[in-house]
């Protein structure tokens, strides 16, 4: 397992991050703890959870798993979603952040969080209020670093600019949806992250299971994509372009004697600007497949074919601005 620094920080994280969204739900407590311990034994140190996952149960299991070896892990969790049934039980207000961090610390059985991430932009709360509250958590020692998730480019840049102007703790990372079949971040957010040295830790790196190769062109009756709504719904995934990308992934898998999941994850690991893709697993078998993406290098020519197959069409303003690129 190799390591990268997360954004502008000196925080070293493994090239894969273990996501825990299924822990306490489709993954039992015992198997969840086994995954975390196996991940650590293989060199993985980066764990991602959220206060909203399985109504906080995921945080509780993670806390139990890392007990006694806390300093060996980089622990990330999130705040923003509805966790209590009242008007202030969601959002990024100072009140909600301060109450949520205490609840997360209790569930995680720790006195600090390494990376505290805002889950989604809050249109009701001024970003200055959110950033000040997060900075106070860093100053108090309850949080080491702060990050964001699911931000638009203007939202991220506004937050970075205000943090720099006011001397507040800066977002060191963003957690976006990003994969071979979801490269919308390439339009604005990825160039911004490269320019500002913001670490990128993608969620859904396998396209909600689409890139594992388990699905054909007919809508599935079972599995992760069956009947699902939202970003990993079948209508969003089952496009002709995505199936052509899947064909390229399966071709690379056959050529390199790897699984499709390992190919899709490895492409991300080797993409400039990506720090650590977040992979999830409901079973140890899935975990063992996904962890096989670490510790090897995809040949450049194979990487390039996948990149070309999945690239977005060139659009305005990039198409127009490219004419004015200068070389000195």
Assigned token pair, 16: 């894969």
Contacts by residues 298-303 (CB-CB < 8 Å, ≥ 24 positions apart): 298/252, 298/256, 298/263, 298/266, 298/267, 298/270, 299/256, 302/252, 302/255, 302/256, 303/267, 303/270
Residue 112 appears among annotated catalytic residues: no
Select which of 3, 53, 123, 316 is catalytic.
53
Residue where the block lists tokens 């206060």:
51
d(CA 57, CA 21): 9
Three-class DSSP category at 17? strand
Provide the strand spans (E) within the chain.
Answer: 3-5, 12-14, 17-19, 46-48, 74-79, 113-118, 143-149, 171-175, 199-200, 278-279
User: Would you name the residues annotated as active-site residues?
Assistant: 53
């Amino acid at each position: 397992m190799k390591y990268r620094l997360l954004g502008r920080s000196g925080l070293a994280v493994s090239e894969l991050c273990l996501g825990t969204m299924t822990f306490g739900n489709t993954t039992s407590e015992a198997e969840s703890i086994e995954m975390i311990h196996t991940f650590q034994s293989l060199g993985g140190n980066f764990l991602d959870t959220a206060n909203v996952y399985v109504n906080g149960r995921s945080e509780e299991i993670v806390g139990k798993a890392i007990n006694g070896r806390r300093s060996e892990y980089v622990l990330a969790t999130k705040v923003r979603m509805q966790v209590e049934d009242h008007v202030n039980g969601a959002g990024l207000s100072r009140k909600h952040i301060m109450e949520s961090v205490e609840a997360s610390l209790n569930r995680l059985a720790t006195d600090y969080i390494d990376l505290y991430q805002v889950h989604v932009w809050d249109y009701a709360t001024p970003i200055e209020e959110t950033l000040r509250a997060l900075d106070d958590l860093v100053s108090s020692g309850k949080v080491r670093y702060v990050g964001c998730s699911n931000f638009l480019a203007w939202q991220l840049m506004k937050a970075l600019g205000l943090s720099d102007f006011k001397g507040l703790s800066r977002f060191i990372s963003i957690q976006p949806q990003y994969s071979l079949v979801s490269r919308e971040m390439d339009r604005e957010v990825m160039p911004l992250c490269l320019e500002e040295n913001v670490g990128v830790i993608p969620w859904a790196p396998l396209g909600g299971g689409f890139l594992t190769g388990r699905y054909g062109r007919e809508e599935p009756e079972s599995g992760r994509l069956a009947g699902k709504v939202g970003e990993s719904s079948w209508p969003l995934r089952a496009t002709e372009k995505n199936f052509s990308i899947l064909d390229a992934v399966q071709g690379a898998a056959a050529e390199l004697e790897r699984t499709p999941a390992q190919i899709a994850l490895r492409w991300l690991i080797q993409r400039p600007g990506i720090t650590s893709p977040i992979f999830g697993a409901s079973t140890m078998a899935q975990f063992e497949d996904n962890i096989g993406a670490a510790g090897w290098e995809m040949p450049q020519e194979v990487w390039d074919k996948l990149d070309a197959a999945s690239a977005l069409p060139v659009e305005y303003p990039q198409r127009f601005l490219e004419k004015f690129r200068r070389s000195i």
